[in-house]
Amino acid sequence: MRIVRFSPPTGSKLGSDPHFGILEDDASITAIASDPLYAEIFRQKEVFALKDVRLLAPVIPRSKVVCVGKNYADHAAEMGGEVPAEPIIFIKPNTSVIGPEDLIQWPDSSERIDHEAELAVVISKICKEVPRQKVRDVIFGFTLANDVTARDLQKKDGQWSRAKGFDTFCPIGPWIDTEFVPGEQLITAHVDGQLKQSAKLSDMVFDVPFIIEFVTKVMTLLPGDVILTGTPSGIGPMNPLGEVSVSIDGLGTLRNRVSSRG
């Protein structure tokens, strides 16, 4: 099942507020009554053509986006470091989240902003100290993300909060797939149509069960929290007024435009 969050078309009986729905095929959405993270899924009568709605970020994390750094060996190498013995985790604020086709805003304080293609996990329930054999019980589904980073500020600051925390620096979408199983699927990133990143999800140093087990030993996760599982090699700059896309085989493609330089 693929869950979307969308703005209904003008004149809809649902009004103009964001709504949740189920992507029934590649072309239509059936509205559902409420947020599926908090209520049983109940299909409504309203059905919309996908082309007639605006897709939003499928989830706005209730508290945080937890990210994993250097989780692909080739990316650790290109950053000039070793593969970590344990996951390196950091937080992006939930205010950094935007949806598909939304504009990534170039901050005035940065000369370079980079793409980082990532698989994202959406958490379904309050959880703490989850053993790896039970992590599926706390996963609502998977989506795509771009861990946008002001690379010059990351190097300047020596820590990552500012460089990765700007508003619009966490595109997520276009939907949440509740049945996706990470494995040998290819994850890619394109900048202005040119391939920049490509790897298999199985190339992760720490797999999703290990990450969730590790993170929940540190902090409590809440329904709607999102975990970004790391990016492969090939990170690099995006262009002012350009386009960036993140794709995962069998999951979808997340596209965003970039603003002019601040």
What is the distance between the alpha carbons of residues 224 and 45, in angstroms, rounded to a whole number? 26
Which strand (E) or helix (H) includes residue 30?
Answer: strand 28-32
pLDDT digit string (tens) for the chain, length 262 residues? 999 999 998 888 888 899 999 999 889 999 999 999 999 999 999 999 999 999 999 998 889 999 999 999 887 677 767 788 999 999 999 999 999 999 999 999 999 999 999 999 999 999 999 999 999 999 999 999 999 999 999 999 989 999 999 999 999 999 999 999 999 999 999 999 999 999 999 999 999 999 999 999 999 999 999 999 999 999 999 999 999 999 999 999 999 999 998 6
Domain extent listing, the chain: 2-54, 65-258
Q: Which amino acid is at 105?
A: Q
Which pLDDT score is estimated for 83? 83
Phi then psi for residue 77, to 5 deg, are -65, -40
- Taking the C-alpha atoms of residue 230 and residue 197, their distance in angstroms, rounded to an integer, is 12
pTM over 0.85: yes
66 close to 160: Cβ distance less than 8 angstroms = no
Dihedral of the CA atoms 105, 239, 200, 70 (nearest 10)?
A: -70
Question: In this predicted structure, what is the pLDDT of residue 12?
Answer: 85
Burial group, residue 253, by CB count within 10 angstroms (0-12, 13-18, 19+): middle
pLDDT at 62: 86
Q: CATH homologous superfamily of domain 65-258?
A: Fumarylacetoacetase-like, C-terminal domain (3.90.850.10)
pLDDT of residue 15: 83
Q: Return the structure tokens found at 196.
A: 């920049």
Cα separations in angstroms, 127 against 12, 40, 64, 140, 156: 37, 19, 14, 12, 35
In this structure, which topology does domain 2-54 adopt according to CATH?
SH3 type barrels. (2.30.30)
Sequence-ordered list of residues with C-beta below 8 angstroms from that of 159, at least 6 positions apart, any chain: none
Specify the DSSP class assigned to residue 100: T
